[in-house]
Amino acid sequence: MSLLVVGLSHRSAPVSVLERAALSADAQMKLLQDTVAAEPATEAAVLATCNRIELYADVDKFHAGVAELSTLLAQHSGVGLEELTPYLYVHYEDRAVHHLFSVACGLDSMVVGEGQILGQIKDSLARAQDLHTAGKLLNDLFQQALRVGKRAHSETGIDRAGQSLVTFGLEQLAAGGDVRDWAAGRTALVIGAGSMSSLAAATLARAGVAEIVVANRTFERAERLAEILAEGDDTGTVTARAVRMDAVAAELTRADVVVSCTGATGLVLTAEAVAQAVEGRTGAPAAEITGTPRTTAHAKAPLASAGPGDDNCPLDLSAVQPGFSLMGEAAVAGMDAATLEQHAAWVAGGTVDRRDRRTPETDAELITALAATAATVGRIPERRKPEPVAERPAPFVFLLDLAMPRDIDAAVHRLAGVRLVDIESLAEASADAPMAADVDQVRRIVSDEVAAFGAAQRAAHITPTVVALRTMAADVVAGEIARLDGRLPDLDERQRGEIRQAVHRVVDKLLHAPTVRVKQLAAEPGGAGYADALRTLFDLDPETVAAVSRAGDSTDTKDRPA
């Protein structure tokens, strides 16, 4: 087994990079085709969700495989290789199996324990099968990952450790209150009719909203989802209807809750569109709140405009992107060290003391400390002056953006009366979510399953060699029986049968213990060399072994369930 995975996720990359690297369905198909066409890879599968992009492949060379898969990800995502590389992670062989099994169990999800990832893994396998890029290794791997994920959810309480992204997002909109109490009687607008939007609509219906309006570019899909929602409502308290995308602006003025998850590459709802909806709802222009944090407990600094407090800032103001605070990290990106030092002193309210210059030794210590912090929290902390936080009025419009790249303009965070929760704020909110005790049990399940999968793969690797050995032994027996027939022509059929059975029993008994033992040894870590030793000791024809292996793969493919 030479399984390799190269990817990036919410754990390794910021949302801004994940947004730009997101792959459309067509891009995923092209990536798979180009991967198997590349020299190091013989199989390929892509797992692409709203917060991860991973390319799995069976490769014959590790370093060449890493280079090729990284290059292909960069080419098809549109993010340059130099920019993408720092955010990529690589797993090989057993570590790659461990990673996928952990993903399938929800251990690597933004919301630990969520079960939606199983459907996404199933879709990933189906896509690779349709394109004939998944061979025996990836078929076995992904099907076993689905079984491991189901086992984790059935044997443990991992479901209690987390929820689906939709449920978690609605809880964030409800600001920690009961979702049912918060949703009761509200009108919801769901933009998109895919799997995530459908899950959001169903969750809202169960939570008790009074009306759900579904908008989609393909009106027939919106109609179908509305029909499903109406048919599934046993209480008769939820009405559902479909509208075309050009009706979204009008529906925004009526909606209390908006959930958007489309495959659009640009914004579906701009800040201006939401502001107009607020104005249409209240009759007054939407107010913009400056110095306000995002809607999470651990919020990032606001993107407020420069004001009087920015006097005497040492930065070149013309180089700063409009709309960003001069104390924020975006303002100092790309500045030279001397300017950064002056900026840090200005933010702290002091001046730079040139008499107390840092030595290379102290610089090294600071760099080490920063690296440790970045490894722990995923980013280098900013040095900033606290900005004034304005009092936010209670929200009356709630927006949940589950798309990647984002559907809703992040500037909506600054509108009074509006609460926006998106993938970035969900990542921040879930970073400190409590881990359930069941997580440890799931980790043990993953470790056991990885060991079992590896043993099965190693044992399967030696099986064609064992079959070829037994075939060679049968050929030798047949040849010797034929020679005996020529030397003893007077033997009757019963005597010939007894001799034939005796010779076969001797050969089978001689081969039984060694072949059983070699399978056991081959299944252990580091046991791959036993197949080579067997082929060398018995001078087995490599082509015969390969033919047995190909026949086995063909049988597996034919018998594989749809």
**Would you please indicate which residues are annotated as catalytic (active-site) residues?**
50
549 is in an annotated binding site: no
Looking from the CA of 506 toward its CB, the CA atoms found within 13 Å total 8
Burial-class residue 209 by CB neighbours within 10 Å (0-12, 13-18, 19+). Answer: buried
196 is in an annotated binding site: yes
195 is in an annotated binding site: yes
The two counts, helices (H) then strands (E), for the chain are 22, 10
The H or E element containing residue 397 is strand 397-401
192 is in an annotated binding site: yes
* Beta carbons within 8 Å of 341's beta carbon, 6+ residues apart: 352
Of 242, 164, 237, 235, the closest CA to residue 203 belongs to 164
163 is in an annotated binding site: no
| 96, 65 contact by CB (below 8 A) | no
The strand pair at 89-92 and 239-244 is best described as unpaired
Burial-class residue 148 by CB neighbours within 10 Å (0-12, 13-18, 19+). Answer: buried
| 118, 150 contact by CB (below 8 A) | yes
194 is in an annotated binding site: yes
- Written as one string, the DSSP assignment of 409-457 is -GGGGGBTTEEEE-HHHHHHHHTTPPPPTHHHHHHHHHHHHHHHHHHHH
Of 452, 440, 529, 461, the closest CA to residue 94 belongs to 452
State how far the Cα of 188 lies from the Cα of 255, in Å rounded to an integer.
Answer: 5
The H or E element containing residue 216 is strand 211-216
- Written as one string, the DSSP assignment of 27-95 is HHHHHHHHHHHSTTEEEEEEEEETTEEEEEEEES-HHHHHHHHHHHHHHHH-S-HHHHGGG-EEEETHH
> Tokens 């790309």 appear where?
334
174 is in an annotated binding site: no
193 is in an annotated binding site: yes
CA-to-CA dists, residue 516 to 466, 512, 513, 549, angstroms: 9, 6, 5, 18
| 199, 227 contact by CB (below 8 A) | no
Token pair of 149 as six digits? 């994920």
109 is in an annotated binding site: yes
52 is in an annotated binding site: yes
- Specify binding-site residues for substrate: 49-52, 109, 114-116, 120
Binding site for NADP(+): which residues? 192-197
Show binding-site residues.
49-52, 109, 114-116, 120, 192-197
